[in-house]
Structure 1
Amino acid sequence: MPYVAPLPPVSRSKNRFSLAQFELPPLQDPRDAWELAFPSSTPYGDKPFDEGVVFPEGGRRAWLVVFGSWCALFSSLGLMNTMGAFQGYISTHQLKHLDVAVVGWIFSLYAFLTFGVGLFVGPLFDKYGPKWLVLSGSVLVVLSMDLIGNCIEFWQFMICFSLLGGVGSALLFSPSIAIIGHYFSRRRGYATGIAATGGAFGGILYPLIIQLVTPSTSFLWSTKLIALISLILCGFATVFMQPLQAPGPTASAWPNLLILRRQAFSLTVLGVFLVEFALFVPLTYITSYSRSMGFSSSVSSAVLPVLNVGSVFGRCLPGYFADRYGRYNIAILAIILTALSVFDIWLPFGHTPPGLVIFALLFGLSSGSSISLTPVCVGQLCPVEQYGRYYSTCFSIVSIGCLTGVPLAGMILDADGGIYRGLILFVGGCYAGGLVAFTWARLMATNWRLKSKY
C-alpha cells in the first residue's frame, strides 16, 4: 500500500467567522441631494406635500386669523390699489411740473419694496412667526400715511410713500398670506380669497376718501384719516394673526434662491412676473386715462373704485372655485378673461364712458385673482413649513417687474404723445405671455396630464 502523508493539523483561529461580522453597506437613497432638499411637486405619484399634516380647515381661531389677515391686507394692498388716486392727485398738484414717467417712480418703488422685501420677510416668518413683523409693518404704514400729506417735493414722496409705505406693506403682506396656509389646505383658496378682499375694499374706500375729503378740507386731512383707519385695522391684525404652532427650530431665516431650479416653480414665477408687470399699469394710469379722454371728474374719480368693486368678487369667487376645480386651472381661466378685457373692451371701447366702466369692472373681476390664487398655486409646489419662503421668493422676483412696469408704461405714453394705445397693447401682451407661462407650469407640475384637477 502506498504511503499517504497525513494532512496537516487545522489551526483553529480565535477569530472565527460569524454572521455578526458580515455587514452590508448602508442603503443609499436613490434621490440626489437636490431632490431631498427640494422634492418635486408630485414626489410619489400624486401624494401631496401636506399629507399627514392636520389642518383645522375652519373654526373660531382659524377664521379670526383670516379676519386679521383681511385687516392687514386692507391696510397694505388697500394703499396699492389706491395708487391711481394718489398718482392722479399728486401729478396735477404737488408734482405737476414733473413728467408722468418721473412721478411713476414713486409708485413703482412702493410696489417693488412691497414685494421685494418679502424675500427676507417670508423666511423670517417661517423662523419666528408673524408677531414682530406685523407690528413693525403697522407702525411704518401708519407713519407713511400720517406724513405724506405734508410732502411737496419728489424726494419727500419717495421717502414717505415709497420707502416707509413699501417696507411697511411688505411686513404686513407676506405674513398675512402665509399664515392662512397654516390653518387651511383643502379650503385654502377660499380662505385666501376672503382675506385678499381686504385689499379690494381698501381700494374702494381710500380713493373715495381722497375724492370726497380733499375738496372739503385738504389732502393732508384725507391722508390722516387713512392713517387713522390703518391704525385701527393694524391693531386687529396684530391681535388676531396668531400662529397655529410655534415656528420649527429647523426653519431658516435666510432666503434661498436655489428653489428656482424647480421647473414648475420657476415657470410659475415667470407667469406671475408678467401678470403683475401689467397689473399695476391700469391701477396707476386708469384715472389719468379717463381724464385724457375728456370724461368728467366724477367719472374719472369713480373708475378706480369700480375696478376695485370688481376685484372684491375677483378675489373671493375664484378661490372658491379653485378649491373645487384646481388652482392652476382657475388661474389660467382668469388670465384669459383679463387679456380679453384688455384687447376686446379697453382697446376698442375705452374711449367711451360705458366701455371704460365695463372694462374696469371686468378687469377687476378677472385680475383680482392674481393676489388670491398665486399663493395657493405656489403652495401646491412646496411643504407647508416652507410656504412663506416659496411665496416670498416668488413675489421678490415679481417686484422687479413692479419697479420697472409703471415707469416703462409712462415712457411708452410719453413716446406716443399722450396716446394710450401703445400702453394698452403693452398690458395685453404681458397678460398673453403670463398665460403661456402659467399653462406651461401647470403641464410640467402634472406631467402633462390635461384633465387633472390641479
Structure 2
Amino acid sequence: MSTSHEHDSKESFQDDKLSSRQPSTAKDLESSPNDGEDSPAVGDEEPTYPEGGLRAWLVVFGGFSGMMAAFGLMNTVGTYQAYIATHQLSSYSESSIGWIFSVYIFLAFGAGVQVGPLFDKCGPLWLVVFGSVCTFLCIMLLGICTAYWHFMLVFGVLGGFGTAFIFTPAVSAVGHFFDKKRGNATGIATGGGALGGVIFPLMLQSLIPKVGWAWATRIQGFIYILLLTLAIVFIRSRLPPREGGSTLPQVRVFKDPAYALVTGGAFFLELGLFIPITYITSYSLKTNGAISQTFAYQLLAIFNAGSFIGRWAPGWIADKLGRFNTQISAVFLCAASSLGLWLPATVLAEGMSRSTVLGLTIAYAVLMGFASGSNISLTPVCVSMLCPIKEYGRYVATTYTVVSIGTLIGLPIAGALISACGGSYWRVALFTGLCYVCGLACFVAVRVMKIGWKASGMY
C-alpha cells in the first residue's frame, strides 16, 4: 500500500495476530479512498499477504489433509477399476466401467462452478463439512456395492460431490495467505492427494487378500475420519466475504484470452492425466507376464510417489523461475514420457520383450508421475496470475468446470480405444501424449502473449 494509506498498512496482515482481524481489514479494503486506482480488475485494492506464520501454515496443513482424503480417493481409481473389472463388474466392458470413474472425476471438477463462488461469498467451513460427509459415506458404502448402478451412485455421484466440495476450498484458502510463495504452499497442500495415492493403493493391495474388499475399503474410511476432521478444523479463509456478490458462474471471465487459453490447456492436461492413473494397472496386468500381478498394483503407488514430489518441487521452483515457465517444462515432460516411454512399451508388450517393457513402464511411472504433479498444483497458481484474488475461487472453479468435460469423456474414449485395439493399449498411450502436446501449446501461447518469445523471461 502507498504511504498515504498508513492506517491501512498498520491494519494489514503482517503476522498471525493481525491476520485474524478480519472486520477491520474488510472495512479498510472496501472503504479505501483510492479504489479504482491500480485496481486488479474488479475495483478493489490488492490486499497484502502474511506469506507464512502459524495460521497460514495450518491452513496449508488442513488443505493437505483434505486433499489426502479427496484426491487420495481420486488417485486410487486405478486400483478400484482393476478390482471391480475382474470381480463385481467382470461382465461389463472397459468403456462401460470407465463411465463410473468419468462421472466421478467430472463431478469432482465440474461441481466447482458453484463451489468457487460460494467460497468467495461464504467462506470454506460448511463447504468442507458437506464434502467431508459425502466423501466419508462414499468410501464406507463402497464395500457393499455389487451392481453397476451401486458403483455409479456411490462412487460416481457421492464421491464426485465430496471431492469437489473439498478441492476448491482447500486450494482457494491457501491463496488467501500466500502470494509470492503461493506456488510452494499450493504444491505442499495438493501433495496430500499424491501421498494418499501412494498409501491407499498399497494398503488395499495388502488388505484385500486378508480381509476382503468390503473391510479393506472400510479401513480406508476409518483413516478418512481423521483426515477429514483436520480439514474441517484448519481450512479457513482470510479475506472478508464479498458482500452482495453473486454465487452464480459468469462467462465474462473468458473475455480474457490468456485466461481462456489457460483453461483450454488445463482441459487437455486433465483429459490425458487420468488415463494412465486409471489404466496403468490394467495395462500392466496384460503385458504377457512382463509385469507381475503384484507389481502391477504397485505401479500406481510408484506413479503417485513421483507425483508427490512433482506437486511440491515445481511449486517451489515456480516461485523462483516463473509459474508458466515451470508449468511448460513439466507439461513437455508429460508429453515426452507418454510418447517416448509408454507408447513403445505398449507396442513391445505384444512382442514379449519382457525386460524392455518392464523398464519402460517403470521409467514412465516415475517420470510421468513426477511431471504430472504440476497439473494440479501449478494450474491454480497460473490462474491466480490472471485474476483478482477476491475472485480466485470463482476463476479456479470455472476453469475446472471446463476441465470436467474432458475428464467426463476421457476415460470412456480410452476404454473404447482399448476395445477397438482388441485389448492393446498403444492407441491409449498415443492419445495421452497428444493431449499433452495440445496442453503444452496453450500454455506456451499465454507465455508468448505476456512476455514474448525471449527464453530468459520470468513469467
TM-score between the two structures when normalised by the length of structure 2: 0.87
Q: CA deviation at 1:93?
A: 0.2
Q: What residue number does 1:323 align with? A: 319
Q: CA deviation at 1:156?
A: 0.4
Quick one: which of 392, 400, 410 aligns to 2:397? 392
Unaligned 5+ residue runs, structure 1?
Answer: 1-42
CA distance in 2, matches of 1:114, 1:45: 33
Equivalent residue pairs, number: 412
Quick one: which of 210, 224, 227 aligns to 1:230? 224
Task: Spell out the pairing of 1:349-388 with structure 2 (5 A cutoff).
Answer: 349=345, 351=349, 352-388=357-393
Q: What residue number does 1:298 align with? A: 294
CA contact (8 A) 1:108 1:404 kept: yes
1:442 aligns with 2:438: no
Q: CA deviation at 1:391?
A: 0.4
1:255 aligns with 2:260: no
Query: RMSD of the TM alignment (CA)?
Result: 1.9
Q: Which has the higher helix share?
A: 2
Q: What residue number does 1:6 align with? A: none
**Matching residue's letter, 2:81:** Q
CA distance in 1, matches of 2:40, 2:174: 23
Q: What residue number does 2:436 align with? A: 431
CA contact (8 A) 2:40 2:46 kept: no
1:311 aligns with 2:307: yes
Task: Spell out the pairing of 1:88-167 with structure 2 (5 A cutoff).
Answer: 88-167=82-161
Quick one: which of 201, 209, 217 aligns to 1:207? 201
Larger radius of gyration: 1
Distance verdict in 2 for CA 1:153–1:142, change over 3 Å: same
Q: What residue number does 1:62 align with? A: 56
Distance verdict in 2 for CA 1:324–1:49, change over 3 Å: farther
CA contact (8 A) 2:39 2:46 kept: no
SS at match of 1:53: coil
1:62-96 CA-to-partner distances (Å, cap 9, x unmatched) read: 00000000011011111110000000000000000
CA distance in 2, matches of 1:49, 1:104: 45
CA contact (8 A) 2:123 2:241 kept: yes
Q: What residue number does 2:330 align with? A: 334
1:294-347 CA-to-partner distances (Å, cap 9, x unmatched) read: 321111011000000000110000000100111011000001111111111112
Unaligned 5+ residue runs, structure 2?
Answer: 1-36, 350-356
Distance verdict in 2 for CA 1:49–1:282, change over 3 Å: farther
Distance verdict in 2 for CA 1:346–1:374, change over 3 Å: same
Runs of 4+ in 1 over 3 A off after TM superposition: 43-52, 445-451
TM-score between the two structures when normalised by the length of structure 1: 0.88
Q: What residue number does 2:81 align with? A: 87
Quick one: which of 377, 402, 405 aligns to 2:407? 402
CA contact (8 A) 2:239 2:390 kept: no
Q: CA deviation at 1:379?
A: 0.1
Q: CA deviation at 1:247?
A: 1.1
Q: CA deviation at 1:451?
A: 3.8
1:203-253 CA-to-partner distances (Å, cap 9, x unmatched) read: 011111210111001100111111111111110111111221431214321
SS at match of 1:418: coil
**Matching residue's letter, 2:381:** V
CA contact (8 A) 1:338 1:363 kept: yes
CA contact (8 A) 1:378 1:391 kept: yes
CA distance in 2, matches of 1:281, 1:52: 39
Q: What residue number does 1:73 align with? A: 67
More deviation in 206-215 or 244-253?
A: 244-253
SS at match of 1:342: helix
Task: Give identity over the alignment, percent.
Answer: 44
Distance verdict in 2 for CA 1:432–1:48, change over 3 Å: farther
SS at match of 1:260: helix
Distance verdict in 2 for CA 1:49–1:232, change over 3 Å: farther
